[in-house]
Amino acid sequence: MTERASRAADVRVGSTTDGLTPISTAVRPFGATLAQWVSLIAVALAALGADQLTKAIVTNRLDLNDEVHVVGPISIHHVTNSGIAFGLFASATPIVILLTALAVAWMLYFFARSGSRHPVLPVALGLVIGGSVSNLIDRVRLGHVTDFLDLKYWPAFNLADSFIVVGVAALLLALVAADRKWSTQGAQLSRPHGQSPPGL
């Protein structure tokens, strides 16, 4: 009787009483590690330095509105912009400064919480933060940013704008890839032991 009762109450660790459905799954910590913080800071500083250097070269070599043709539709055209990327919101500099500062603060918070979700995050966020901070420094110091890359059929922009666009695109792709990966793994863990996925 005792042996039968013991067998009836025997439940596998990590399973419900049917022995099939998991009670819980291990949760992977997503917070950024020290190495990832170092990578983020290095990329951000490199982006900031490259943007500031190219702006300094343009302002020292070309007067405002001067233009030098490079090749095809590409020109180096010294212009200023008090808005955000590609000349948007040019008449709202204080608001742009505030929104940029808030965006950078949110990105740092996000990285602290989720920096380990994908290996590309330190690079992607580093590019976005470096470009954003570089343009923010110019707006606070000068009231505008220097744009110089002119493609004729697109508003002039600078390296910081390019870093932001590339970083955001990489960030979105990384987050989508990470979500798909963990959704697939979660589905595999929730299937009964030994059961094949549908269609296999």
For 131-148, the pLDDT digits (tens) are: 999 999 998 898 889 999
pLDDT-above-70 percentage for the chain: 68
| pLDDT tens readout for residues 61-100 | 999 999 999 998 999 999 998 766 555 555 566 787 888 8
Q: How confident is the model at residue 173 (pLDDT cuts 50, 70, 90)?
A: confident
Structural domain harbouring 151: 41-181
Catalytic: 161? yes
Nearest to 132 by CA among 43, 17, 15: 43
Distance CA 72, CA 120 (A): 33
Whether 90 and 81 have beta carbons less than 8 Å apart is answered as yes
Q: Phi then psi for 173, rounded to 5 degrees? A: -65, -40
Q: According to the model, what pLDDT value does residue 11 have?
A: 45
Q: Is residue 70 part of a domain?
A: yes
pLDDT category of residue 159 using cuts at 50, 70 and 90: very high
- Cα–Cα nearest to 12, from 199, 196, 193, 194: 193
CB atoms within 10 A of CB 157: 21
Distance CA 47, CA 132 (A): 10
pTM reported for the whole predicted model:
0.72
Which stretch of DSSP H or E encloses residue 197?
none
Domain total in the chain? 1
Catalytic member of 51, 138, 147, 150: 147
Catalytic residue among 51, 138, 150, 161: 161
Contact 190, 14 (CB under 8 A): no
